[in-house]
Chain A
């Protein structure tokens, strides 16, 4: 890969990786799975589309990311059905490192406020059906229009409008009392 292209890709991926991780984390509810999804999306973009114009990378990355999230969702649905059928309990798999305090936050008060508001939002978003959740994030957070969202999600524009409207309605019903 040529050096200027390498630098451009590095800048692009650095600019999208945090949001991509948050979107995958909201969808999966699991940090490791979210990181795997983001890494896989990055690798696919570099392997297949590094030669494309920089202006196309954003749309391509969102499409790849959404495909990976859907793949994860299908796999986990099958896995959960199998697990519930076998009555297995995975509570022992919790990583003790997850309990360590985060050193990056400035002070505990900030952390508490953020955890409260963000925690409520995370819970409400995670509770949404996957398509509603991802349409809402792409439209309201990423700022994609209806056509761009439909392309990334692989569905019709009418479907995007319906999912978005339902997501906004559900989130307002869940969060407005909490936030007011």
Chain B
């Protein structure tokens, strides 16, 4: 048997096996085909729309939250700046007081 004869024999056997499929298998293949044909073909936007809507809502919430939070951050920065000035001021006063105390001690020693 040469190669072409062999391949022809293989094709014949495969054809025979295809034609001799049992009734139960043929019935299930028919059911599978009908199920495939019966499925609704939904446009792509129907699948993506809910996901896009959810993503938009989440982005809006995050954006809104950031906008609401922003003034607090500015106030917080401002309050920190005022505290710094107050501290610097009080530190200068403290040094002045220390100098005054020292001057009083030196005056007492001199007298």
B36 with A13: CB separation less than 8 A: yes
Contact with A along B17-56 (1 / 0, CB 8 A): 1111111111011001101110101000000000000000
Contact partner of A22 (CB less than 8 A), chosen from B1, B17, B24, B37, is B17
Minimum CB–CB distance from A19 to chain B (whole Å) comes to 6
How many chain B residues sit at the interface, stated as a range, is 20 to 34
| A180 CB-CB contact with B under 8 Å | yes
| A78 CB-CB contact with B under 8 Å | no
| B9 CB-CB contact with A under 8 Å | yes
| A102 CB-CB contact with B under 8 Å | yes
Using known A-B contacts A10-B33, A39-B35, A180-B1, determine if residue A47 contacts B41 with beta carbons closer than 8 Å: yes
A13 with B33: CB separation less than 8 A: yes
| B11 CB-CB contact with A under 8 Å | yes
A22 with B22: CB separation less than 8 A: no
Alpha-carbon separation in the docked complex, A45 to B35 (Å): 12
Alpha-carbon separation in the docked complex, A13 to B38 (Å): 13
A43 with B36: CB separation less than 8 A: yes
| A1 CB-CB contact with B under 8 Å | yes
Tell me if A's interface is mostly helix, strand, loop or mixed. helix
Interface residues of A in 68-108 (CB under 8 A from B): 97, 102-105
B21 with A18: CB separation less than 8 A: yes
How many chain A residues sit at the interface, stated as a range, is 35 or more
| B60 CB-CB contact with A under 8 Å | no
Using known A-B contacts A118-B13, A141-B11, determine if residue A172 contacts B33 with beta carbons closer than 8 Å: no
B29 with A171: CB separation less than 8 A: no
| Chain A to chain B: the 3 pairs with minimum beta-carbon distance, closest first | A39-B32, A42-B36, A102-B22
Minimum CB–CB distance from B82 to chain A (whole Å) comes to 65
- 29 A-B pairs within 8 Å (CB atoms) are namely A1-B37, A9-B37, A14-B33, A17-B32, A18-B18, A18-B29, A21-B25, A21-B29, A35-B28, A35-B32, A38-B29, A39-B36, A42-B32, A43-B39, A46-B41, A104-B20, A104-B23, A114-B20, A121-B13, A121-B17, A137-B14, A140-B7, A140-B10, A140-B11, A141-B11, A168-B6, A171-B6, A176-B6, A179-B6
Alpha-carbon separation in the docked complex, A1 to B38 (Å): 9
Alpha-carbon separation in the docked complex, A125 to B41 (Å): 37
Chain B residues near A102 (CB-CB < 8 A): 22-23
Alpha-carbon separation in the docked complex, A102 to B19 (Å): 13
